[in-house]
Structure formats: structure tokens, C-alpha cells
Amino acid sequence: MFRILFYTPEIPGNTGNAIRLAAVTGAELHLVEPLGFDFEDSKLKRAGLDYHDLAHVTVHATLDAALTALAPARLFAFTAEGETPYTDISYEPGDVLMFGPESVGLPEDVKQDPRVTDRVKLPMVPGRRSMNLANTASIALFEAWRQHGFAGSGPRG
């Protein structure tokens, strides 16, 4: 299935929501240190509810370690400055959807890393800086999953 990569996330509630997202979609969640919280944080636990044991979550010491573990895979860097709308990507199982920290987004050197397949954006009203991390990851992941008929979701009713 698909993989979500949060590069140095700062807000425990967003990562908790991503844990829940991973659990309900079958996606993997990969986190790159340093994290702005620890896994005992009450906001992380509250946002993730009781889904922590149902999600596949891996913490990596560095971005290089994460990308080595995830290779070979296409890597899409989500950024407000992206060139390609998220709906113009033909997602493939195993793709990595990478998002930056809440306060600043992905650093320029990460966005320009040669391993990045494409820099991707979600449309926003002009003059707005960014969207919420967990919401953006949800929108992107559900588009990728939709393109594959929500594979693994069971009967639809």
C-alpha cells in the first residue's frame, strides 16, 4: 500500500491523527527524528485513540535512513511551492508521500533532494501559507487510495 513520511513532525496531535489515518487505510507511517514530542504525550495518544496498535509506524533517525529503508520507491514531496497538483499524479502502491514539519514545511535541501520524484501541491486560496499537516496527508493519501479502488477496504455499502 502507500507510505506516509513525516519529516521531523512537531505537533503530537497531527502525528496522532496520522497514526489513526494509517490504521484505517492500511498505509505505513514513517517518522523522521527529531520529533517534537515523545510517544507518551497525552495529545498524541488522544488523537490516535486506540489505533496505535493497529498502525504500522516506524521512526527513523535520519531522512537518509528512512529513504534507504523505503527504497526503491517513488518519493513525492508535498509543499505549498510544488509544481504538480496532487490530482495529476498517477499513484502506485509503495509510493512515499512526504510532508514537512508544521511550522516551516520541508526545507529547501529536502525538496531539492535528487531522490524526490516530484514536488506536489494541494490547491489553496491565494495568500494562504499552508494547510494542516494531518489534513493534507489525509487528502493526498485518500486520492492515491481512490485511484486504486480503495484496495483492501472490504465491501463497500
Mean pLDDT of 26-40: 92
Is 31 annotated as contributing to ligand binding? no
Residue 39 burial by Cβ neighbours in a 10 Å radius (0-12, 13-18, 19+): middle
Mean pLDDT of 73-86: 96
Is 122 annotated as contributing to ligand binding? yes
Superfamily of domain 3-147: SPOUT methyltransferase, trefoil knot domain (3.40.1280.10)
What pLDDT digit, counting tens, does each position of 80-129 carry? 999 999 999 999 999 999 999 999 999 999 999 999 999 999 999 999 88
Cβ(33)–Cβ(61) under 8 Å? yes
**Domain boundaries in the chain?**
3-147
The pTM of this model reads 0.93
Confidence of residue 64 (pLDDT cuts 50, 70, 90): very high
**Residue with cell string 486520492:** 143
**Residue with cell string 517513488:** 74
Q: Which triple of cell numbers denotes residue 86?
A: 496532487
Is 153 annotated as contributing to ligand binding? no
Confidence of residue 156 (pLDDT cuts 50, 70, 90): low
